[in-house]
Amino acid sequence: MDKNDNRSIFNVMLQKQFPTLSSACSEIINLKAILNLPKPTEHFISDIHGEHEAFMHMLKNGSGVIKNKISQEFGNALSPSEVDRLAICVAYPEETISLMKEQEKDIWKWYMDTIRKLVVICRVVSRKYTRSKVRKALPEEHKYIIEELLHETDHGGSKNEYYESIIDSILSVGAADDFIIAICGVIQRLSIDRLHVVGDIYDRGPGPHRIIDELMEYHAVDIQWGNHDIVWMGAGCGSEVCIANVIRVCARYGHLNILEEGYGINLRHLATFASNAYKDDECECFKTVIKNDMHDEERMLLRRMHKAITIIQFKLEGQLIKRNPLFEMDNRLLLDKISEDGTGVTVGGVKYDMRDTNFPTVDKDDPYALTKEEEAVVQGLKKIFLCNEKLSGHMEFMLRKGSMYLKYNSNLLMHGCIPMNEDGSFSEIKFFGDELTGMAAMDAYDNWVRESFACRFAENNNTDVFWYLWSGKNSPLFGKIEMKTFERYFVADKAAHSEKINPYYRHWMNEETINKILDDFQINTEFSHIINGHMPVRAKEGESPIKAKGRLIVIDGGLNPIYNPITGTAGYTLIFNSYGLTLAAHEKFESREKIIESGVDIMSYYADFDTKRERLRVGDTDIGERINIEIKALEELCRLYSVGRLKEN
């Protein structure tokens, strides 16, 4: 079939949608109008690490943007405390209503006043959208009423009385609670047009599964996989070594309930094995990182399970490294480097004392072989992980909405790094058959992940790339030369724990390096940026998240509390609206209960940059590019109608 045939088929399809000249012309007018609307707002966040409540707070309050809009719109008419209260109402309407019913003497007056203000704010956040798009965002049961109130144009006379009567009716029929909840949801929805999650939803925090549940319902989201995400995806594909890593990390942070309650994964077989194999072992090296209120027996069982799965992990990793010589990771084979008496280990030619010398399941002659009991545990876990419906659904979502990187509106989004050599040249990845670098290597990893996931129930499925992306020396998601898990558990000397980072993180200060990367990804415009996660910004020590003269932005601000003392912040959000880029740094989120009861929202501090250009329109975005293609096609359709080549229906 030649191009003319394809064009004819396309014209016929377009003709069915727009059967007359006037309908095609109307659509052109509509699309050209959309091109001139302000660019919708994108929010970028990374390294959520299971902090469900803090993450949801950022979504609900628009990373503080909703509060700013309230201040701007009402000016001095509202005090700072009233601004806070209204912003908290938008974020948590149900809880606010409940609190106001207890505190307000005249709840009717509060309802009237609050509804009026919420309608104003809803108008503000809906201004940049077409009526059609706003209509789609409205809840069905309140669509007509909200739409009427949003499009008020006459602020006096009978029209004003009409709007007041609508609000009176909302109260008189007892619908005020539902209406406030509905319009607050619309404000939240319209404040963020698209959410970009730049990696690491999983591990450390207690609620990654709840975050995925929320994202699956979100109106527009994409995900750039992080190394903590990819190891879960590997576990969902039945990778035994990834399964061991996932369980170990959950145990390390005291969050096995993510697996047992969040996903319904039964760990009883592992618990029984651990209790028997390490029954006389105090497992001092396997205490949880986060303090918990477990009973002594529960705490000891968790430690033993933690140790059991860790030893299994090291054995499985050793097997994987040996069967993949092209990974070039023999230096991570350490079980066979433990001394004969078990008191020391040689790492990188240096002998260190061991903190733990009890290895009842390790055969000195074949240290990477699983015992029969360990093999039974692993195979049982593999079956459970592969057949878990909820986990499969979450991992399918991660695959569908995720990727190794994303090019969006001339920006490059990626979690970790472009692996580099010391001189700043791109590292070559050799195990794909060709020596690939940069974007080509990222694409190859992406394809392998998707193919392996598609074949996850096949016996010969190769899932080893998931583990390599989790901890491999040239993994673009890991970004370090080696993961020192063994040393952190067993070596007392903390000098052995240090993990050397990829040279990328030194070269990212250089604007030429960033230009080279953007050139490789074919998006190097005047206003292109790399948006990076993964490496917590040590703002407390004076480190800036903005690198290479503003060409690269690191948005890992340490949302998880473990990082707060290191970063000095509690997370970043990058906001890209029609005026340019703004980086928001957030104070520590403690709980929504505290925010609601105190009436004081967490503070967010904003730094604007790259705002010198003219205000951006939809026509300047990727969507605008697609709209322009549609317009050209419709113009051709109009021409065909006009000259009689196509008949109108």
The 10s digit of each residue's pLDDT in 300-312 is 999 999 999 999 9
For 354-391, how does the pLDDT look when each residue is reduced to its tens digit (9 = 90+)?
999 999 999 999 999 999 999 999 999 999 999 999 99
The closest of 222, 238, 111, 113 to 177, measured between CA atoms, is: 111
Range 38-63 average pLDDT: 95
Interatomic CA distance for residues 74 and 76, integer angstroms: 6
CB count within 10 Å of CB 635 equals 13
DSSP secondary structure string for all residues of 120-169: HHHHHHHTTS-HHHHHHHS-GGGHHHHHHHHT----SHHHHHHHHHHHHH
Range 331-337 average pLDDT: 96
pLDDT value at position 274?
98
For 499-528, how does the pLDDT look when each residue is reduced to its tens digit (9 = 90+)?
999 999 999 999 999 999 999 999 998 889
Interatomic CA distance for residues 153 and 166, integer angstroms: 15
* pLDDT band for position 271 (cuts 50, 70, 90): very high
pLDDT value at position 432?
81
For 586-642, how does the pLDDT look when each residue is reduced to its tens digit (9 = 90+)?
998 889 899 998 888 888 888 887 766 788 999 999 999 999 999 999 999 999 999
pLDDT value at position 565?
86
* pLDDT band for position 154 (cuts 50, 70, 90): very low
- Torsion angles phi and psi, residue 367, rounded to 5: -65, -20
Interatomic CA distance for residues 522 and 524, integer angstroms: 6
- pLDDT for residue 445 is more than 80: yes
- pLDDT for residue 279 is more than 80: yes
For 554-577, how does the pLDDT look when each residue is reduced to its tens digit (9 = 90+)?
999 889 888 888 898 888 999 999
CB count within 10 Å of CB 544 equals 13
pLDDT value at position 1?
45
CB count within 10 Å of CB 424 equals 14
Interatomic CA distance for residues 336 and 343, integer angstroms: 13
Do 473 and 423 form a contact (C-beta atoms < 8 A)?
A: no
- pLDDT for residue 231 is more than 50: yes
Give percent of the chain above pLDDT 90. Answer: 81
Interatomic CA distance for residues 386 and 237, integer angstroms: 6
pLDDT value at position 10?
64
DSSP secondary structure string for all residues of 487-501: HHHHB--GGGG--PB
- When comparing pLDDT for 271 and 645, which is higher? 271
Q: Please, which residues bridge with residue 222 across strands? A: 196
pLDDT value at position 7?
59
Range 441-461 average pLDDT: 94
Identify the DSSP state of 366.
Answer: B
Range 477-503 average pLDDT: 95
3-state SS of 22-48?
A: HHHHHHHHHHHHHHCCECCCEEEECCC
Cα atoms in the Cβ-side hemisphere of radius 13 Å centred on 614: 5
Describe the strand order of the beta sheet including 580-586 as a list of residue ranges.
402-403, 221-224, 194-197, 42-45, 572-577, 580-586, 604-609
Determine the Cα angle at 338 with ends 332 and 340, to 5°: 155
pLDDT value at position 214?
97
Do 597 and 92 form a contact (C-beta atoms < 8 A)?
A: no
Bridge pairing between strands 546-547 and 552-554:
antiparallel
Q: Roughly how many angstroms between the first and final C-alpha of the chain, as a whole number? A: 27
pTM of the prediction?
Answer: 0.94
What is the rounded average pLDDT for all residues in the chain? Answer: 93
pLDDT value at position 455?
94
